[in-house]
Structure 1
Amino acid sequence: QFSYNADNYGVLLHCPDSGDTACIDAGDATATEAALTQSGWSLTHLFITHHHGDHTAGLTSLKATHNAHVIGPPPRSTPISGIDHAVWDGDSFEFANRQVHVIATPGHTTDMINFYLPDEKIVFTGDTLFALGCGRVFEGSFDMMWNSLEKLRALPDDIIIYCSHEYTQANADFAITVDPHNDALSKRREQVIEQRANNIATVPTIMSVEKATNPFLRPDDLLIRAHLDMAHASNADVFAEIRRRKDAF
């Protein structure tokens, strides 16, 4: 994992047997090249989660320099120049002799996809699911975003989650306002504050921890519902209220 811009993360995924190396998103060619130089790996693939510039700005340069094979979403809102293989929900493809499953998670954008490698127990969630948070809903609807998060929430508890931004401390500060009686969340917030004070990344995270502490995955929690005075609302409506509060936080 490597940093770029103010708070973005990229990830190099490498197989020592095949020599294949994928970069998850291509927001900064210079930062990606530096990570490749440091690792000594040769880029073969780019996995693109969505069209936003902080995920695609370096795509053209990296593809040209390394002749990388680019896998990403079909054009749903803003087309992404340079996609070689468009994939969508339920599709899968082989990378380094592993199956990569594609999970469409529209909401933040309508073209958002996530990459799930079950054999490696990792998922790359882009700007859909963050540590203690979720992406802002720009192009989709709240219902669409909740449906996407339900797909991710259904993944096994031991799945490691790589997301694309270091937003965790701000997310923790908000989460405690809608889930104030969650002891696990309180302890995690203290840990996150300490990590960030020491410039330690809070990503990746793990699904079991997110299910226990991330309010955007917990609209069915009775204490959150009571706190929001939404005991009888649908999960989608509770999620929407949490997301609206985060937008105004």
Structure 2
Amino acid sequence: MEIEIIPCLNDNYSYLIKDSQTNTVAIIDPSEFDPCDKKINQKYKKLDFILNTHHHFDHIGGNTELKNKYGSKVLGFEDDQKRIPGIDILLKDDKEFKIGDLNFKTIFIPGHTIGHVAFYFEQEKIIFTGDTLFSLGCGRVFEGTYEQMFNSLNKIKNLPGDTKIYCGHEYTKNNLSFCLKFDPNNNYLKDKKKEINSRIKDMKPTIPSTIKDEIQTNIFLRCDDPDIKGTLNLKKASDLEIFTKLRDLKDNF
């Protein structure tokens, strides 16, 4: 499996993937046409599939032009069929689909939107999480509930630790500052800071991360941690209450 990271708009990432065995090419969350088309022309000169994690414009903005140019099939979650332009194939929760010889499972993860999904390539140990799980962060809760988002993050958290995470935005620097504010004694986070700053200095993406890294450093996956509860002065709060508090704080950070 080949993966090309395509920076788009201000801080979006689109992903061009190829199954090397069958030469099948797909793009995940094409934010805009021009940079995606440029990378497709440079690498493969074809595009078989377009996959969307959710309906927000900065994840579907290139759908129509790419589909028209390359004759691609658009894949999206069945509940979002009226909100994803050009949709051809409706994906179902916990069901598999093949891109060439690459199998992926659609995982329903509502919260950011009510139709958000992730694409999990189990054999390759890769997941594309859109705007649900970021490196050191999570998405805002726009359409769903805090409980939905909390449960969605836990779904991802329970995947194997060596699973690589490709998310929808380059938000890591800001997320790092937030995590350090409320989890200041986390030594894993301090080590992560050095790694992140090095990548930013070299003008490289800070992704992919891994499930293991996020469990150790991402405050939104650590809502059961007594130190974090203490920092918030909410020692007796439930994990969901801690998540809700942190998400509200992050909205205004």
Normalising by the residue count of structure 1, what TM-score does the alignment of the two structures yield? 0.96
Match of 1:153 in 2: 157
CA distance in 2 between counterparts of 1:9 and 1:81 reads: 19
CA distance in 2 between counterparts of 1:75 and 1:163 reads: 21
CA distance in 2 between counterparts of 1:57 and 1:135 reads: 19
Q: CA deviation at 1:194?
A: 3.0
User: Which of 152, 167, 170 is residue 174 of structure 2 equivalent to?
Assistant: 170
Match of 2:83 in 1: 79
CA distance in 1 between counterparts of 2:219 and 2:22 reads: 40
CA distance in 2 between counterparts of 1:26 and 1:188 reads: 29
User: Which of 174, 191, 194 is residue 190 of structure 1 equivalent to?
Assistant: 194
CA distance in 2 between counterparts of 1:58 and 1:3 reads: 13
User: Which of 114, 117, 125 is residue 113 of structure 1 equivalent to?
Assistant: 117
CA contact under 8 A between 2:19 and 2:101: conserved in structure 1? Answer: no
Give the percent of matched residue pairs that are identical in Structure 1 and Structure 2: 37
User: Which of 220, 242, 246 is residue 246 of structure 2 equivalent to?
Assistant: 242
Q: CA deviation at 1:76?
A: 4.6
SS at match of 2:191: helix
Q: Structure 1: which 5+ residue stretches go unaligned?
A: none
Q: Which sits farther off after the overlay, 176-185 or 91-100?
A: 91-100
CA contact under 8 A between 2:21 and 2:101: conserved in structure 1? Answer: no
Match of 1:46 in 2: 50
Residues 101-133 of structure 1 show CA distances to partners (whole Å, capped at 9, x for unaligned) of 011111111111100000111000000000000
Match of 2:12 in 1: 8
Residue identity opposite 2:167 in structure 1: C
Normalising by the residue count of structure 2, what TM-score does the alignment of the two structures yield? 0.94
The Cα RMSD (Å) is 1.4
Task: Say if 2:150 is the partner of 1:142.
Answer: no
CA contact under 8 A between 1:88 and 1:113: conserved in structure 2? Answer: no
SS at match of 1:210: helix
CA distance in 1 between counterparts of 2:51 and 2:82 reads: 17
Q: CA deviation at 1:232?
A: 2.2
Q: Which sits farther off after the overlay, 138-147 or 39-48?
A: 39-48
Taking a change above 3 Å as real, the CA distance of residues 189 and 78 of structure 1, as seen in their structure-2 partners, is farther
SS at match of 1:119: coil
Residue identity opposite 1:15 in structure 2: D
CA contact under 8 A between 1:9 and 1:166: conserved in structure 2? Answer: yes
CA contact under 8 A between 1:157 and 1:207: conserved in structure 2? Answer: yes
Match of 1:64 in 2: 68
Where in structure 2 are the equivalents of 1:123-142 lying within 5 Å?
123-142=127-146
